[in-house]
Amino acid sequence: MTYYKCLYQSPLGPLSLIATDKGLRGIWFEDQKYFERGVTETPIMVEHPILKQATLLLDAYFAGQAVDLSLLSLDLSATPFQKAVWQFLQEIPCGQTVTYGQIAKSLGILSGQAVGGAVGKNPISILIPCHRVVGRKGQLTGYAGGIEKKRWLLAHEALMKKEEEDVSIL
């Protein structure tokens, strides 16, 4: 399998984007846990249509615009349980949070810890918004990119949501 890579300069630091011909494989902060997990060969640094599309989505997100991930092909290496959790993450509205327990209950499983394990291995940082998952009492917990990045992303989305509400009032 051939992997393609580009670096993206985000407001939170460099991101590594990797794709295959089937779709986006991952977006990782350079210093995060599970960095480029599952990439088994050295990626080629080259322009690729999937990477270009992913960078456009990141540009839109950081510019405060809504992002529709369904427009992007994904090539995720995951268990069915992980895929179910990651699908749930994509349904959390921008600017809102849910707890691990709420996800577990919605998916009909007993373990919020199992959900936490799947959330933590999400390879598509930011666009599959695992940063929107918080602890039982609303506290910020585990984020592979670091709690400060999670705090920044949630504050960014709160501002996006406020601006959206202000526009809808007009």
Are residues 97 and 49 part of one domain?
no
Instruction: Tell me the catalytic residues.
Output: 130
SS3 10: strand
Q: b vs e for 73-83, b when ≥16 Cβ sit within 10 Å of the residue's Cβ?
A: ebbbebeeebe
Domain-located, residue 87: yes
- Nearby residues of 33 by Cβ (< 8 Å), 6 or more positions away: 120, 144
**Farthest-apart Cα atoms in the chain, separation:** 52
User: What is the Cα Rg of the chain in Å?
Assistant: 16
Tens digits of per-residue pLDDT, 102-112? 999 999 988 88
Tens digits of per-residue pLDDT, 111-132? 888 999 999 999 999 999 999 9
pLDDT at 167: 56
Are residues 164 and 94 part of one domain?
yes
CATH assignment of the domain containing 54:
3.30.160
Domain-located, residue 74: no
Are residues 87 and 112 part of one domain?
yes
Are residues 87 and 114 part of one domain?
yes
What is this structure's pTM? 0.89
Domain-located, residue 43: yes
CATH assignment of the domain containing 152:
1.10.10.10
Hey, what are 22's tokens?
Answer: 């089937």
Contact 123, 85 (CB under 8 A): no
Are residues 55 and 102 part of one domain?
no
Are residues 115 and 55 part of one domain?
no
Are residues 85 and 52 part of one domain?
no
Domain-located, residue 75: no
Number of independent structural domains in the chain: 2
Amino acid identity for residue 60 in this structure: A
Amino acid identity for residue 92 in this structure: I
Domain containing 14 equals 3-63
